[in-house]
Structure 1
Amino acid sequence: MAPTTYRTADVDGFEVFYREAGPKGAPKLLLLHGFPSAGHMFRDLIPLLADKFHIVAPDLPGFGQSDMPSRETFRYTFDNVAQVIERFTEVIGFDRFAVYVFDYGAPTGFRLALRHPERITAIISQNGNAYEDGLSDGWTPIRAYWQDPSPANREALRAFLTPEATRWQYTHGVPDPTTVSPDGQNLDNFYLARPGSDEVQLDLFGDYKSNVALYPSFQEYFRKTKPPFLAVWGKNDPFFIPPGAEAFKRDNPNAVVQFFDTGHFALETHAKEIAESIHSFLA
């Protein structure tokens, strides 16, 4: 088993923490996590892929071990998150790479693809959405905040930041919740409990509407560029539902879509199966 190393990169003064594994000369694979997690969500997947790929999994700005500057010095928008990750790939020498996107990692990775399509060799989307078809009714409180960013609507979103909500995200839709380790969710809750983290996450909830506004641009990229595309989807996800996965085939008919009987954090229960799909797809 290839060892995983734990590093930080200075990205124009912004410290980005990342996991790295696999031979340096192998095809490059960038793993982008989602809310409320960090690169540790890939802890089971990385060893299963590191024999064939040079893997890097950064913590997004404000998440995990990466810097979480104050909201006065850094605006927590998805544009700014993507700019930091774009520069991160340049700093570490990731010039051409496949990208695995999940949840928040999807609008981050898709922005990278829009800006530099020549750098993207393939896309793996695990419950990473780019279509309004894929947004469930679970987004209703967040949509209310987009339409009316009042203090009351912002305050209502704190319900998504509780330990109970994190536990629910990990276990909802999983046929046997006892197969889900508590380790990942407990670490997520540790990061969410840091001073100031709640306001950062509320800012990103509010800015998620910028991702929906970019959906047509993402879709045009899929139509024009037609990157090799694999969707591996927890079919019981309460936020990003199966029609969002199927929709990728509208704009990229060669997209491969696979469903697994699990929830949002599909790697918690199906890391081995997803790794096998990635090996076959990228072979």
Structure 2
Amino acid sequence: MSVGSVFGESHEVRYRTVDVDGVEVFYREAGDPSRPALVLLHGFPSSSHMYRRLLAELADDFWLIAPDHVGFGRSATPPVDRFPYGFEKLTEVTRGLLDRIGVDRFALYVQDYGAPIGLRIAADRPDRVTALITQSGNAYQEGFTPFWDLLFRHAADRAAHEDDVRKLLTVEATRWQYEHGVPADRRERIAPEAWLLDQAGLDRPGNKEIQLQLFWDYQFNVEQYPRFQEYFRTHRPPTLVAWGAGDEIFGPEGAKAFARDLPDAEIHLLDAGHFALETHGSEIASLVRDFLRRNP
């Protein structure tokens, strides 16, 4: 295990790497392990970097763990012919990481790709998850927008649509993910290094093939939605929804849909896009802090 630290006024963020079944997994950790745990799972094309401000703001009250999925950020990126990229495998690795570092019970914060990973963990072991927070972490058909039309065509006929889907891996597409749906007066809050860092990850040799494989595999997440919804109805986890009202990837109807199975869910539609933490980080931190204090 390798460890590094950056010190703040009253807490530190620690950067760690552990071996999970032969794969190096990087994660950010902040706060005191004696406090309630919050696990933060990122989406495409990001990494745990997307949670950098949230870790700093919440470390005084919680123990926070934010891993990079395999193929993203500072975690290992084995080529597609040496690692079975898919959301079932990413879930297995995430579960292994939590077991490895001793995170037994935790609240779960999911965004984008983090949702099908985290919700698999929750549905498999509902006793481990104390609360759920979703930021554009979809679990309903209502959440899909026209953005997904090409991806679903790719899932049905990969060879015919692979070249078109590659356009989603360009710097223009990555920047769009951060800026769409954001009012002009809020765009100045988006740190350009966020989307530039994501693009640097995508541009690594072999990484686009990893992302194309995960694009194709996403169709099997949709098959899990009924199981996720049954988990909601049966176990009623306290749920906070903090979602960009302008998100054109997972639309706000996906946020509202949680109320169908979780009538007590606290749903907040923010004047933001897909990466709402970039423009509404303090607001979301306040919502999370209040929510978790009321649902320890």
TM-based fold match above 0.5:
yes
Q: 2:99 aligns with which of 85, 90, 93?
A: 90
Aligned to 1:174: 182
Q: Tell me the TM-score normalized by structure 2.
A: 0.94
Any stretches of 5+ residues in structure 2 without a counterpart?
1-9
Q: Tell me the TM-score normalized by structure 1.
A: 0.98
Distance in 2 of aligned mates of 1:229 and 1:179: 27
The percent of aligned pairs where both chains have the same amino acid is 50
Shift of 1:70: 1.7
Q: 2:211 aligns with which of 201, 204, 208?
A: 201
Q: 1:67 aligns with which of 63, 67, 76?
A: 76
1:165 lines up with 2:183 in the alignment: no
Any stretches of 5+ residues in structure 1 without a counterpart?
none
Q: 1:113 aligns with which of 122, 130, 141?
A: 122
Distance in 2 of aligned mates of 1:114 and 1:196: 32
Shift of 1:97: 0.3
Distance in 1 of aligned mates of 2:195 and 2:60: 27
1:155 lines up with 2:163 in the alignment: yes
Shift of 1:14: 1.0
Aligned to 2:86: 77
Moved over 3 A (4+): none
Distance in 1 of aligned mates of 2:162 and 2:35: 45
Q: Which amino acid aligns with 2:162?
A: R
Distance in 1 of aligned mates of 2:99 and 2:191: 34
- Once the two structures are superposed, the pairs formed by residues 226-245 of structure 1 within 5 Å of their partners are 226-245=236-255
Aligned to 2:229: 219
Distance in 2 of aligned mates of 1:262 and 1:246: 16
Distance in 1 of aligned mates of 2:17 and 2:124: 24
Distance in 2 of aligned mates of 1:179 and 1:85: 31
Distance in 2 of aligned mates of 1:149 and 1:160: 15
Q: Which amino acid aligns with 1:94?
A: V
Q: 1:253 aligns with which of 263, 278, 284?
A: 263
> 2:176 is paired with a residue of what secondary structure?
helix
Distance in 2 of aligned mates of 1:178 and 1:50: 26
Aligned to 2:152: 143
Q: 1:185 aligns with which of 165, 186, 195?
A: 195
Shift of 1:179: 2.2
Distance in 1 of aligned mates of 2:73 and 2:158: 27
Shift of 1:10: 1.1
Shift of 1:126: 0.4
Q: Which amino acid aligns with 1:68?
A: T
> 2:242 is paired with a residue of what secondary structure?
strand
Shift of 1:59: 0.2
Q: Deviations over 1:76-109 (max 9, x none)?
A: 1000000000111000100000010000000000
Distance in 2 of aligned mates of 1:115 and 1:222: 12
Shift of 1:164: 0.5
